[in-house]
Structure 1
């Protein structure tokens, strides 16, 4: 028996891309970020769905992810690698026709020495202090790189999920100054930047979490549902404990359902005694600790014990779980394990 059923709505995924494509504007290319295995949902499945919706450019974190997306899509769409050109990547970049986003003078040198005629892009640091070349490095590299006609120059916003954060305007100004007159397509916006407006769009947007139903894209359609099967039900007397370390004690006689699913399946331990599962419209509290493979849920108030309960569904999305766990929807999605039976809705 699988730990549960993870239902993936491909029509919702495609709808979210189309909505962000409209927000980007007709003159701007809307790409799709499909790293981390399509945010945990399957990179090939996600990429094919988004390509059918109209996406013609995709972003991954590392070359190996890019190769998997290329295998799923075949020739044609552009696949950019955020991590750039790492040692030993040349053969894979060439074989899969990937575009590394070069992040440093070292990577630029590696690219030009090992793949002098291959496509590449450039990543600049506009203030996040993560990946990319700072202004002084860029000033040194630009005369060497620009004549080779990079496919794209990009940077990344640190606080685009907070529209009023002054860091957004500061990074926009810094990036605009760095790329002024470069004659190369430019990109600054992921999901949050897309929603900040046209000033942040440049030539390409590259949404990620919004495609999968997460913040800050409040109008996104939910893409995933997670149902966990009930293995066993027991009656617990008042004063008895449930789960490891006895973190929950029954205040009255209770009926406890044990469900298949735990932190080995990406259900964060920090959700212990905090979250709720659902039987249709009826909430059922998780009681006791999340263990590796099991959850315990109070179903005393249900007229009958269901075969399964929803952890993610119409009443509780990935961001609701993230709020309860003290994290973000990205972690909820990308933590989803491989033991779920996957059910796909919609799509071609």
Structure 2
């Protein structure tokens, strides 16, 4: 961190839009599909739809996926001419809201298909939608037999379905047999619906030739997450989180720190406190496992991560790097998203999408 954090915030979240755009370009090249979309749900994985979507549009992305109608409306303001699909279907009676903003529901049941088709007939205008078939996730979507039984049914055309899609369960694991079964089932669906564009590849699926279809739809990897666990991360980091040290103190052996005295100093230690905590997206499960970089040194979290404060053991940090306001890096450099996630006993996705709104946000492009 080259600048002090704002006095009004506990930390600075820097979002590199140039890296976001570079990641989209790289994924488009790797996927080698006719089109590469972008998943911008969860407020563009915590990076902000209002900033991320226009940056991706400028790079050439024309299709976006979100989870909810509210996100789709935000995206529509950000990219007025984009094709925007809403992954989580649409609630009963919400067709007018979708249609007024030119949004495309991802239809995952016969009831949803029938309702959207009826809205098309009533308006006299066929507006597009996607067709979601479940090939193994067992969350949303028609079953493969249900979808195959609808092949040739006029309701498919009446619903304006222009995209056939499914969701990979375990694409990050190379050679996973479930992925092979999903690919085989999706091939049957494509044969039954030869006139529909198809989309199967997520971030990890972009790297699996068998999963490449007409439209790739990466998400996590766009924002710097590693789509290939066990391999070097091919993506550029997008998010960086820095905070200034509030206070440094020396403690003797036997002293405790944090709520419930869960940490006891094994010897003389220097501790530093940062002004952020689980309300800012660092799970309480990071207690005793998380780290920050101070003066280039990995400093473990000690004591319980609290709502607004984290304590570091900075004993190994050179004295000249320890002072009030000294920078600490919680995401960035050697602490990438996936490392931070593992240290919290979770995944980088949760860390990224959980980053709170209390940070000073700085966008660089």
TM range (shorter): over 0.9
Contact 2:113/2:156 (<8 A) preserved: no
Aligned to 1:21: 28
Aligned to 1:86: 91
Aligned to 1:161: 172
- Residue 249 (structure 2) pairs with residue 234 (structure 1): yes
Contact 2:269/2:315 (<8 A) preserved: yes
| Residue correspondence of structure 1 range 39-58 to structure 2 within 5 A | 39-58=45-64
Deviation (angstroms), 1:170: 0.4
Contact 1:105/1:141 (<8 A) preserved: no
Aligned to 1:124: 133
Contact 1:247/1:289 (<8 A) preserved: yes
Question: 1:247 & 1:144 partners in 2: Cα distance?
Answer: 64
Aligned with 1:290 (options 288, 300, 305): 305
TM-score normalized with structure 1 length: 0.95
Question: 1:294 & 1:281 partners in 2: Cα distance?
Answer: 21
Deviation (angstroms), 1:186: 0.6
RMSD of equivalent CA atoms: 1.4
- Residue 186 (structure 2) pairs with residue 175 (structure 1): yes
Aligned to 1:95: 100
Question: 2:100 & 2:18 partners in 1: Cα distance?
Answer: 32
Question: 2:118 & 2:90 partners in 1: Cα distance?
Answer: 12
Deviation (angstroms), 1:114: 2.6
Aligned to 1:318: 337
Deviation (angstroms), 1:88: 3.4
Point out where structure 1 has 5 or more consecutive residues left out of the alignment. Answer: none
Aligned to 2:3: none
Contact 1:85/1:110 (<8 A) preserved: no
Question: 1:276 & 1:83 partners in 2: Cα distance?
Answer: 35
Question: 1:110 & 1:255 partners in 2: Cα distance?
Answer: 64
Deviation per CA, 1:67-105: give whole Å up to 9, x if none. 10000111x210011112222322221122111110001
Aligned to 1:147: 157
Point out where structure 2 has 5 or more consecutive residues left out of the alignment. Answer: 1-7
TM-score normalized with structure 2 length: 0.91
What SS does the aligned partner of 2:213 have? coil
Aligned to 1:269: 284
Aligned with 1:248 (options 259, 263, 269): 263
Aligned to 1:110: 115
Contact 1:103/1:132 (<8 A) preserved: yes
Question: 2:28 & 2:168 partners in 1: Cα distance?
Answer: 19
Question: 1:181 & 1:136 partners in 2: Cα distance?
Answer: 11
